[in-house]
Amino acid sequence: MDAIAKNVYIEERFPGVTLGVIVQSRGLIQIDAPPAPEDGRAWRASLMGMGDGRERVLINLDSHPDRTLGVRMMDCTVIAHEQTARAFQNRPNTFKAQGDETGANWEAIPGLGSVRWAPPEVSFVSKMSLHWGDAPVLLESHPGPTEGAIWVILPEEKVVFVGDAVLKGQPPFLAHADIPAWLEALDRLQSPEFKGFTIVGGRDGVLSPQVVRTQADTLRKILAKLEKLGGKKSSAPDVADRLADQILKDFKVSATRHKQYAQRLRFGLRNYYARHYASPSRNIVDE
């Protein structure tokens, strides 16, 4: 666990997500959970004894299984955006691992079996503040990767957790994305408002301003390609196959990750194109 500011820590040793914990006088504010049960147990154990407060709350930055599968293991109140709460309403009560489909990290975790979801108990629409100590912790809606994507902002410590808004060295998740809204969020992140902030990605730890710029450039290129093909009324599978390999060439991907990232792009592009350019009656597969 690494301290990135006073009483603010991140953990990157578990595959799938970068976890956060904020220590305040009332208790611990956790950000996301590891998807594997054994990692969840290890994470809970590492939090024992932190701070003087007894209460705990967990914030989900969006509804992606990589950060929500292990939430029940944390055994505390869960907060998320209203759209994240709605995403759980459209899921079965129990998650069942079903092989390699979306290019997500949980798909590489053996032995997941059946997992009961832990939907949010508290939700909000635009903004929410937690006053558990001397300084507030702000939760803000920043749709882009999903409708329910949020940031956790610590104004006093100058730290912002941005979830999947920024990924380093790996392709974005597009299946439930709104790229124009995503670009607006990244413009905000690059504005003077967040100058000097420590930016924490949901999968890559602390990120530099250059990584944020690269993410925005990547999304603009993807959007331009989709707009061009959308005007030609291409089919979603054709678009996915055509663009996935093109986009992946912009990333330095190891041989072990190539298949996963290619599948992530094909799945995401197929669903994004079906939602934004094809018939509105097309079904979208959950990511």
- The topology (CATH level 3) of 2-208 is Metallo-beta-lactamase; Chain A (3.60.15)
- CA torsion 154-64-201-141 (nearest 10°) is -40
Q: How far apart are CA 93 and CA 77, in angstroms?
A: 18
Residue 20 pLDDT more than 60?
A: yes
Residue 283 pLDDT more than 70?
A: no
190 close to 212: Cβ distance less than 8 angstroms:
yes
Q: Between 105 and 32, where is the model more confident?
A: 32
How does pLDDT run across 58-87, given as a tens digit for each residue?
A: 999 999 988 998 898 898 999 999 999 998
Q: Where are the domains of the chain?
A: 2-208
Radius of gyration of the chain (CA): 18
Beta strands in the chain (DSSP E): 2-5, 8-11, 19-24, 27-31, 55-59, 77-81, 94-96, 114-116, 122-124, 127-130, 137-141, 150-154, 159-163, 198-201, 205-207
For a pLDDT cut of 90, what percent of the chain falls above it? 59
Look at residue 238 in the predicted model and tell me its pLDDT.
Answer: 74
